[in-house]
Each structure stands twice: as structure tokens, then as C-alpha cells.
Structure 1
């Protein structure tokens, strides 16, 4: 995927009409969060299905959206991705998975991540292998949605997931390294908490120890946030770990992570 060059508008009302049309047609990627939130996902879906001669998928997927208790960008995103997966299985249409996984629209690629996360035939190892290319996506939206798509499986299979993801910490791609931390945050953002990690954050050391001096700020922020999450239920664990790291890892990267990790504790 090519890097996004447009800066994007600062508010929804400032998005040029032609840009919004292109976004809703799936012709370009969103340039920032404002655009990402402004896309009409129902319209984008309809346009995608028309162009690929799959309009029969539209009604059942829209019904999925209508049945949502709460309609947000993320719940609609998940409902569409899940609905597409259901239609692909029903119609034996694996070609469509390839189309959406490689689509130029970032939101359509987001839908594709749920076709992996909702596939009961995939074991944990297979699911994480399939999601890894999305964790390396050049678009922020796809990177965020892909860990959300598989987090329930990670939570239910925590020990195996942590073992697999610990190997991702040595990947040369900082986005993949960041996924290992972000997908396992005890609390996380826009997602259910992982109770086992809230109570026993030491289980995450298999990932955290390997990232404590990562050169990428993107990764450092995630590790700091991981530990800040843990500090809300197990503050002593975070204090002790940070003291240990201060002695063992005299790098500016670790110092930065410790500062982020301790922010909630130091407010008290």
C-alpha cells in the first residue's frame, strides 16, 4: 500500500464533496480520523457490491447493521465484516475475500480483518498468521481494527497467543511489533478488557521485556500504555517492574516507556 499523502480536513464539514464521494466509492484511502469517521459505510458497501456484481449480499448485511443495539463506526465495521464472511461462506465465494483484502479503500480492508477474526475454522496460530499482513498495513485504521478483530480469540487463548506474539517482537516491521503489545493490552481502547491480564499482568512479560527498549516511538507508546492499563489493577507490579527496568535498561527508550507507564500511579 502506498503512503497517504493528503493531510485531510480538520472537520467533517470541511471535507470537499469530491473527496467524500471518492471515499464512499472506495476509490481512495482516508487521510485522517476525521475522514475515517465521515465515510458512509453502508454506501461504501453498496458501491463495492455493485462493482463486484454481488448486490445480493447487501440486504442481509444491512440487516446485521439494523439489528445492532448500538450503531457506532466500529460496531458497523464489525457487522459488515461479519456479514461479508457469512455471505462468502454461504456462496462459497473466496474470491471476494481476496478482493476486499487487497482493496485500495482502507475501510474495506478493515472489513476483511473480521472475515479472519470471525472464522471458527481457524485455530489461534492460523488466525494470527492471517492477520499479520493487516497488522503491517500502512494505514492507521486497518492496523487498529485488525487487532480488535482477533482480540476475543487472543483473550480466550491467552497463553498460546502470548507465546506466538512474543516472536513478533523481533520482527523488523515496527507495526507488527506494536501489534504484539497493543492487541494484548489489559484494558485497551474500544474493546473488552482481558481480565486475566488485569489481575496477572506478569503474564505479559514475555512480550513487554522484549520491547522495553524498542527504537520505534509507536511501539514505546503501546508498551507504556500496556503498563499504564495494568497499573490500574496491579500498581505494585508496575512500580516494581519500572524500578527493575531503571537499573537494567539505561536507554532513553526505556525511560520514555516508564514515564508513560507510571502516569496514572503518579497522579495519585
Structure 2
């Protein structure tokens, strides 16, 4: 991290984009700082950041493949723009004689957005599912929340394609000592998900993911508990009776406040619907 921006690391994020200090926005676009909230993320000059990151990791920022992508970014929704930037950088790196060095430089870049692009590369890699999970782990435990979100999004298509295979491979993840690893397993397999395609098989039969949910029913981490509750709340949209029965069983089997918290949040949509019907 450059000493020039050290004093900005402990900042509080601006409540509105217009209130982001010019010094902060400049450092973000230069790739010197991670974002601290959604406003900073949305305020980024993505084309400028992409060029600066490309330069930092040893790629040509004026390469035709990248410039063509940046020229059409306005045609896509904000999140999709990042998909295209990540793919352009991936394509440039794939043909580079020092691709391993460049990949490492991107994965360890000061910008959380750059590291998120590195996480997205895993989806393009052609690796086997076990190898993809091994590769994504470093991003699942990244100190930045945005990178951790991109980590599970990068493998979402694998869950849609073969949920049972993913569930089987994640059984050890939900037993991991790191709450970020446990949460990754829960978020990756949510039936409806956020900013990503749903998993039809888990919408229809959410019980297929019980090997992941059961070890988390009284998790000590609030970060994990919220994810598990959201998982079950997702499932309640398509299998409300099963979620009610499942939560009732958890109440009987686990008397901890952690389980009570998960169940209460898991049933929030069903309880709201019941209240509106009264």
C-alpha cells in the first residue's frame, strides 16, 4: 500500500456519491485504495481504473482487446460491466508469457475491485470443480466484503449446473474454523441468490443442501447466521411448508440463541405474509 494514501485507509465512506472527497476518488480510480461502501464502488471511473490496474500488473492498458471492451461498457448494467472488464484482462493474460505472475499481481492488488476481477477469472479457467473451489478459497477469505461476494458469484454457474456435486464438495467448508469459508458455502448455494441466477433444483428441493445447513444451525458467527437465515428465507418462497417444518425441528433440537436467531429471520417472509392475510 502506498504511503501516500495510508491516511485514507481508516476513512468512513461518504453517505452520498457527491460527498466523496476528490482525494479519495482519485486514489480509488488510480487503484491505490479499496472501496469502503457501495457509493464508492458506484462512483468509480471503471475505464480509468481498468487501465491503471492493467498497467500495474504488467499488461498494456492500450491493448485493443481492453480498449474495445471499455468503449462498450455503457451498454451494460453496472455489475455486468465488471464481468466484461475481467474477461478482457483474462484474455490478455492468457496469451502472455508471464501469465502466472500477472494473475498473482491481480489477485493481490490493493484495489478490491481488481481482486474481484481475479476471482471472476476462475469462472473462465476451464478448471475442474474441485480445482475451482481450491482456487477461489483465497478470495472467499479476502478481508474485503466485496471480494468475498464476488468469490461465490464466480462459481454460481457450477451450482446451477450440478448442485449435488457442489454440496458434496462443500461439506468440509461448513466445518472450517474460518467463518468466511463457512459463509461462502451457504451463500454460494442459496436457492434464489443475489445478483445472480437462481438454482432451480434447490428451489424445488432445498433439502438437497441439508448437509451444508445442518452444521451451521447454531453457528457462533453472526455473518454466517445471517447467510443461513437468508438461505432458508429464499427457500420459503417455493417450499414454505418444508421451511416451516425444518425450522420447527431446529427449534426442538437446538435450544441455543443462535438457532433461535436463524429461525426467526428465516421465517420473516412467511410471518409477514401470514400477518398481511389476517
TM-score of the pair, normalised by structure 2: 0.90
List per-residue Cα deviations over 1:89-109 (Å, max 9, x = no partner).
122422211110001110000
User: What CA distance in whole angstroms lies between the structure 2 residues aligned with 1:152 and 1:190?
Assistant: 12
Q: Does 1:14 align with 2:19?
A: yes
Partner of 1:200: 205
- Who is 1:184 aligned against? 189
Alignment of 1:113 with 2:126, yes or no, is: no
User: How far apart are the structure 1 equivalents of 2:155 and 2:73?
Assistant: 20
Q: What's the offset of the Cα at 1:245?
A: 0.4
Q: Distance in 1 between matches of 2:171 and 2:266?
A: 20
Give, in whole Å, the separation in 2 of the partners of 1:68 and 1:14.
25
Alpha-carbon spacing, 1:248–1:57, altered in 2? closer, same or farther (3 Å): farther
SS in 1 for 2:164: helix
Deviation at 1:20, TM superposition (A): 0.3
Q: Does 2:264 align with 1:259?
A: yes
Map 1:226-237; keep pairs closer than 5 Å: 226-237=231-242
Question: Residues 35, 69 of structure 1: CA spacing in aligned structure 2 closer, same or farther, 3 A cutoff?
Answer: closer
Instruction: Tell me, yes or no, if the aligned pair for 1:106 and 1:142 is still in contact at 8 Å.
Output: yes
Which runs of 4 or more aligned residues in structure 1 lie more than 6 Å from their structure 2 counterparts after TM superposition? none
Which has the higher mean CA deviation after the structures are superposed, 26-35 or 200-209? Answer: 26-35
Deviates more, 1:88-97 or 1:7-16: 88-97
* 1:39 is aligned to 2:44: yes
Which residues of structure 2 form unaligned runs of 5+?
274-278
Residue 51 of structure 2 contacts residue 62 of structure 2 at CA under 8 Å; is this kept in 1?
Answer: no
Q: How many residues align?
A: 266
Cα RMSD, aligned residues only: 1.9
Q: 2: CA distance between counterparts of 1:176 and 1:183?
A: 11
1:126 equivalent in structure 2: 131
Per the TM alignment, residue 66 of structure 1 is displaced from its structure 2 partner at its CA by 5.0
Inter-CA distance 31–66: structure 2 relative to 1 (3 Å threshold): same
Deviations 1:99-158 (A, max 9, x none): 1000111000000011112111x0000001100110001101101111111111232132
Query: Offset at 1:241?
Result: 0.3
